[in-house]
């Protein structure tokens, strides 16, 4: 198939759409903090089984110390800091707006690369940044009005929750972009993507484990394991996203150009619109749809 790479990139976007909605629902049931630790443990298990079946090293213990240190720091910044806020945003404002805000990762990574790696920002990249941020701002500022609420206290509370969710979404994008730049700074492109992901996941598990230890939340964590519906959502989300999505994305990048693959994989905010309307009965205006496509256009220019 001549277009297999493009089809796999689209399948990757579908995977990330599904996993964002699955994790959003699971987070509402057991809390975003419990969700983060469980899904990292599950994802690590999937990777270990897959690599074991393919005859590769189950855990990259032979990787140089520099790689372990850098990728561990990357995992702490990306998975612990970044996903801690992103998954909380899922709970507060839903998967659709959270993933749209998450589209700012390339923008933030671009500026981090400029500041810390000495990379240049072209005029084309600048246009991409403007379009991406303008599209996100369009959805955030001009979203569909909420149903009429006569209680002014509830109106203020709802606005506060939305503002907090938007802030958490951007902090999640900030963490993910920082984690990616740290990984590039320390390892370049010579290290296995699967091995790098595993090291980052292990660091994430340790990081969240320390958070649970310091805050004394292990009892709540154990209690969350007794919620079968939430666990089913987590297992499905961890398989569809961190495992299957990463695998398909890597293969897509091998079969087509990086720019095409990255652009197609970035259309999650568009794909998530129909299920948001059908499943969650969200009110979405034409302006929000247009702004979402503007964001996608900005990301396409950047990548």
At 99-123, the pLDDT tens digits run 999 999 889 988 888 887 787 888 9
- The CA distance from 233 to 229, in Å, is 6
- Whether residue 148 contacts residue 79, with contact meaning beta carbons closer than 8 Å, is answered with no
What range does the domain containing 208 cover?
A: 4-119+154-281
What's the token pair of residue 201? 């996941």
Domain membership flag for residue 49: yes
Domain membership flag for residue 145: no
- The CA distance from 85 to 83, in Å, is 5
- On the 0-12 / 13-18 / 19+ scale of CB atoms within 10 A, 109 is buried
Rg (CA), the chain: 19
Residue 274: the pLDDT is: 92
Residue 188: the pLDDT is: 55
Q: Which of 162, 228, 288 is nearest to 26 (CA)?
A: 228
- Could you say which residues of the chain have pLDDT below 50? none
Domain membership flag for residue 295: no
Q: Which of 144, 140, 30, 10 is nearest to 87 (CA)?
A: 30
Domain membership flag for residue 174: yes
Residue 238: the pLDDT is: 93
Query: Is 143 strand, coil or helix?
Result: coil
Kindly report the pTM of this predicted structure: 0.88
Q: Where are the beta strands (DSSP E) in the chain?
A: none
Domain membership flag for residue 209: yes
- The CA distance from 223 to 215, in Å, is 15
CA angle 89, 47, 262 (to 5 degrees): 55
Domain membership flag for residue 289: no
Q: How many domains does the chain have?
A: 1
Domain membership flag for residue 126: no
């Amino acid at each position: 198939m001549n277009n297999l790479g493009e089809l796999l990139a689209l399948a990757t976007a579908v995977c990330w759409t599904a996993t964002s909605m699955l994790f959003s629902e699971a987070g509402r049931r057991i809390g975003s903090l419990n969700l983060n630790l469980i899904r990292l443990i599950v994802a690590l298990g999937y990777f270990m089984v897959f690599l074991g079946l393919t005859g590769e090293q189950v855990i990259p213990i032979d990787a140089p110390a520099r790689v372990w240190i850098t990728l561990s720091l990357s995992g702490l910044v990306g998975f612990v800091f970044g996903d801690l806020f992103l998954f909380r945003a899922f709970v507060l404002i839903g998967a659709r707006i959270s993933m749209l805000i998450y589209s700012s990762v390339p923008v933030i990574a671009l500026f981090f690369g400029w500041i810390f790696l000495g990379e240049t920002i072209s005029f084309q990249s600048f246009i991409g940044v403007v379009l991406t941020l303008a599209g996100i701002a369009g959805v955030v500022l001009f979203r569909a009005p909420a149903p009429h609420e006569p209680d002014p206290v509830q109106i203020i509370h709802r606005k506060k929750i939305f503002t907090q969710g938007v802030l958490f979404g951007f902090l999640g994008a900030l963490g993910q972009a920082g984690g990616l730049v740290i990984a590039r700074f320390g390892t370049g492109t010579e290290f296995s993507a699967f091995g790098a992901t595993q090291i980052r996941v292990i660091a994430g598990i340790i990081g969240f484990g320390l958070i649970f230890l310091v805050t004394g939340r292990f009892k709540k964590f154990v209690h969350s394991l007794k919620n079968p519906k939430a666990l089913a959502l987590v297992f499905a989300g961890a398989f569809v996203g961190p495992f299957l999505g990463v695998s398909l994305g890597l293969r897509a990048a091998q079969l087509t150009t990086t720019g095409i693959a990255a652009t197609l994989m970035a259309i999650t905010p568009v794909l998530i619109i129909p299920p948001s309307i059908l499943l969650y009965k969200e009110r979405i205006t034409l302006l929000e749809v247009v702004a979402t496509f503007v964001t996608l256009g900005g990301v396409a220019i950047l990548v």
